[in-house]
Every structure is written in C-alpha cells, then in structure tokens.
Structure 1
Amino acid sequence: MLKLAIFFLVISLIAGLFGFTGISAASAGLAKILFFIAIVLFVVFLLFALFVGKAVSGG
C-alpha cells in the first residue's frame, strides 16, 4: 500500500513537472489517501499485535 502511495507521488511530481496539473492533482490526492490508509492499517495491526501477543503469552 505504501509502495502505491510513493508510486502515485512520483507520478504526480513528474506530471506536475511537465505541466499536466489535472493528472498531478489527481495523483497527489490518491497518494494522500493511500498514505493515510497505510498509516491507519499500521496502527490497527500494531494494536492488534500488542493485545493478542499479551493474551497468548499470558501476560
């Protein structure tokens, strides 16, 4: 997911460099959405691992 965000960020920068502002804005928007989804998934899985790890280890 994070790789896709970086990919769309690079596409946005290249499109902006060549003057395709519509494509640049759309790619930047997609990159931003994917980045925040990746951050949310990271936090959810981190909390899940912390709570399940404690339950399994008996702590």
Structure 2
Amino acid sequence: MTDTEYAKAIQTKAMVANLEMNAALTTEQQAQIGQDFIADIMELSERGTGSEK
C-alpha cells in the first residue's frame, strides 16, 4: 500500500466514523464507533505504509 493509498483509506474511514458519530444516539455507541475506528486504522497500519507488501 502506498502512502497515498494509506492516506486515502484513513480519510475514508474518518469520514465514515464522523457520519456514524453524528448518527449515534448514546455515548456508548460513540465509544464503540471510536474503538472500531482505531481498530480499522491499526489494521491498515499493519499492512504497511510507504511500501508494497
């Protein structure tokens, strides 16, 4: 995954998380969305940045 692809993937995940946060009705839902977002970013990070793995 190139740096550009990585940045675009993070931007997309952040946009989706933001929309979900706006729709969340409880702080528990917001907490889960935040945890899911962090897990998604960690997964992307494990794939590698700036290198073709």
TM-score range, shorter chain: 0.5 to 0.7
- The structure whose residues are more often helix, as a share, is 1
Q: Please report the TM-score for the alignment, with normalisation by the length of structure 2.
A: 0.55
Computed over aligned residues only, the root mean square deviation of the Cα atoms, in angstroms, reads 2.3
Matched, 1:37 2:47: no
- Return the index of the structure with the highest Cα Rg: 1
Q: How many positions carry a matched residue from both structures?
A: 41
Runs of 4+ in 1 over 4 A off after TM superposition: none
Structure 1: give runs of 5+ residues left out of the alignment. Answer: 49-59
Structure 2: give runs of 5+ residues left out of the alignment. Answer: 1-8
Q: Please report the TM-score for the alignment, with normalisation by the length of structure 1.
A: 0.51
Identity of aligned residues (%): 7
